[in-house]
Amino acid sequence: MTSKRLNPWFEAGEWDYVKGLVLTRDIKALDFFQVWSSRCVRMPTGVETTISLLQASRDMNNELGLSMSINRFLNHVSHIGMNTWGVSKLHEAAEKLKVPGWIVDIRHETTHGHMPSHTILRAGFEVCWSWICTNYWQNKAVTEPRPGGWRSLEAELAGMLECFMYLKVYHIWGTVHVKDIEETHEDVYSHILSLWSNILGYKLKNVGNLNNITVKQAQGVVRAEILNLDIETEVLARVLVNEDLLVPEQSFLETLQGEEEEDNVEIPPDLVLVWKEFIEKIDERRGARILIDNLVERIGREDVEESSKEFAAAWVVEISEGLLGHSKTLKLNKVHGTDISHLESWISEPSRLVQMMLPCFCNLAGVSKKKEAQLDLLLSAALGEDISPNSKDAKEVYTIEDLGLSIPTENANKGWKRENGWGDQLTKTFRNQTWNSLWLPESTEWLPSKQEQDESDYEEIPDFESEKVVWPGEEEFTEPGTLSAFYRVQKKPSSSPRRKKMKKL
């Protein structure tokens, strides 16, 4: 049985031509990438990362553009690390993928508002470019999928669940036939058709044309295929959280939310109905607490956008309400077995969202209100917030005129306070000093101009050659040109290396 995969390139010859442009760093490749994006719903991740790097190469003097392309590349690295080895720390993912640690430091520096030198940014760019060329573009297996069903169990599950999500939403909305979706949302219909063909088509030959069946029938078929997979509960939970499923793409979320804007982020009721069955199944087999574990881990990841983290936190609240028996939709086991050890694990990496979820965590662990208040103060201290008794009053804004006002006794700890010990220090003059003393002597040596610095930077940057990454299970395929586990369609093993290495939660 041979699995199928739709590529955005028309044929291998087109791929080879574009690869030649990429390897010579020719920006003409961007024109081809624009055409490729019109042929598919989602570009391959290796191509998307290349686009970001190639766009930055247009102006190698643009430090902001270089840093953004490096950060985009590291997002790619982090995503590979999570999907291939299950590691959430960027340094761990970089180590496994043979990316130097100082490249990760570039991300940390730019994130905290300190732009590295131009030399470091140029060198970092060259390392990222060498890596993507070595581990993606110079691999023949990108264009030559091999027979034998190289389909990762998690990738197969993620595709099925995504297809189920779209069909379930339209079923909730009252859409009768699949062909009706095309009339209202052509782009969504094309995506559903692509998922159906690529992931389910080779299994469902007897189902017939997708357009000839109802949305309910199609949803039932996909649901049956998901349940027939020999999937572990931990894997199902991880895929639901880490893929665009519990937290779909922003455009899809906006469709579910409608036009109403609210200050508080809440999970759309339709989305809760979509995943109700699978959440309750996870709760029945393993306990829904495992979903909270994965959601908290996602919130702590650096490569996840803030909006996605907020929706992940909203899911924690929703699932917690189900475990506490307060949810009208999710019927979960109230005997969930959460204790102090789980609470400690969830708040081990403090953040604004973790502090927001603290009441849910404490209710699940059975912690008293007094202890919860102490933990809240502890998180505030860890986040660097002012927790002094007068911290709220101290937030009042004062003007320069307040410096000359006398402070009443009852407000002695509020705002500005007069200091009377300066005397005439602020207006004191110094003898034998004139304005001429501020000028530098004629013998002062000036630093070279920025242009001269940039030219010298270029000369100091060496050529980097990235090592080929050794992927899990690669020893099974010894012939040259084997595509990495992240980019190819994998053979479904009886016991995959990833499942063996999976941490028990």
Tell me, what's the pLDDT at 25? 92
Tell me, what's the pLDDT at 155? 78
Q: Measured at the alpha carbon of residue 268, what is the angle toward residues 264 and 269, in degrees to the nearest 5?
A: 125
Measured CA to CA in angstroms, residue 446 lies from 117, 283, 287, 454 at distances of: 19, 69, 67, 16
Is residue 457 within 8 A of residue 122, CB to CB? The reply is: yes
- Whether the pLDDT of residue 123 is over 50: the answer is yes
Q: Is pLDDT larger for residue 404 or for residue 499?
A: 404
Q: What is the mean pLDDT of residues 76-89?
A: 79
Q: Is pLDDT larger for residue 179 or for residue 142?
A: 179
Tell me, what's the pLDDT at 108? 84
- Whether the pLDDT of residue 352 is over 70: the answer is yes
Tell me, what's the pLDDT at 151? 43
- Whether the pLDDT of residue 452 is over 90: the answer is no
Which residues, 6 or more positions from 90, have their beta carbon under 8 angstroms from its beta carbon? Answer: 74, 77, 78, 81, 104, 107, 302, 303
Measured CA to CA in angstroms, residue 504 lies from 223, 230, 319 at distances of: 27, 18, 21
Structure tokens at 193: 């058709």
CB-neighbour burial class of residue 37 (10 A; exposed 0-12, middle 13-18, buried 19+): middle
Provide the pLDDT confidence category of residue 436 given band limits of 50, 70 and 90. Answer: confident
Choose the weakest-confidence range: 152-166, 339-353, 477-491.
477-491
d(CA 87, CA 92): 7
Provide the pLDDT confidence category of residue 53 given band limits of 50, 70 and 90. Answer: very high
Structure tokens at 388: 């002094």
- pTM comes to 0.53
- Highest-pLDDT range among 37-41, 204-208, 357-361: 357-361
For the chain, domain boundaries: 12-138, 153-331
Choose the weakest-confidence range: 84-98, 264-278, 489-503.
489-503
- Whether the pLDDT of residue 478 is over 70: the answer is no
d(CA 11, CA 238): 35
Which residues, 6 or more positions from 393, have their beta carbon under 8 angstroms from its beta carbon? Answer: 413, 414, 415
Provide the pLDDT confidence category of residue 250 given band limits of 50, 70 and 90. Answer: confident
Choose the weakest-confidence range: 35-49, 169-183, 200-214, 261-275.
200-214
Tell me, what's the pLDDT at 496? 35
Tell me, what's the pLDDT at 446? 79
Mean pLDDT of the chain: 77
- Highest-pLDDT range among 33-47, 67-81, 144-158: 67-81
Tell me, what's the pLDDT at 396? 59
Tell me, what's the pLDDT at 320? 93
> Tell me: the pLDDT tens digits for 325-348?
998 899 898 888 888 989 999 998
Measured in residues, the chain has a length of 505
DSSP, collapsed to helix, strand or coil, labels residue 479 as coil
DSSP states of 28-51 as a string? Answer: THHHHHHHHHHH-SS--HHHHHHH
- Whether the pLDDT of residue 408 is over 70: the answer is no
Q: Is pLDDT larger for residue 429 or for residue 414?
A: 429
Provide the pLDDT confidence category of residue 321 given band limits of 50, 70 and 90. Answer: very high
- Whether the pLDDT of residue 209 is over 90: the answer is no
- Whether the pLDDT of residue 324 is over 80: the answer is yes
Tell me, what's the pLDDT at 450? 56
Residue type, 339: D
Tell me, what's the pLDDT at 2? 39
- Whether the pLDDT of residue 501 is over 50: the answer is no
Is residue 291 within 8 A of residue 318, CB to CB? The reply is: no
- Note the Cα 385 to chain centre separation in Å: 26
- Note the Cα 253 to chain centre separation in Å: 16
In SS3 terms, 192-214 reads as HHHHHHHHHCCCCCCCCCHHHCE
Structure tokens at 74: 């590291």
Provide the pLDDT confidence category of residue 419 given band limits of 50, 70 and 90. Answer: low
- Whether the pLDDT of residue 51 is over 90: the answer is yes
Q: What is the mean pLDDT of residues 30-47?
A: 85
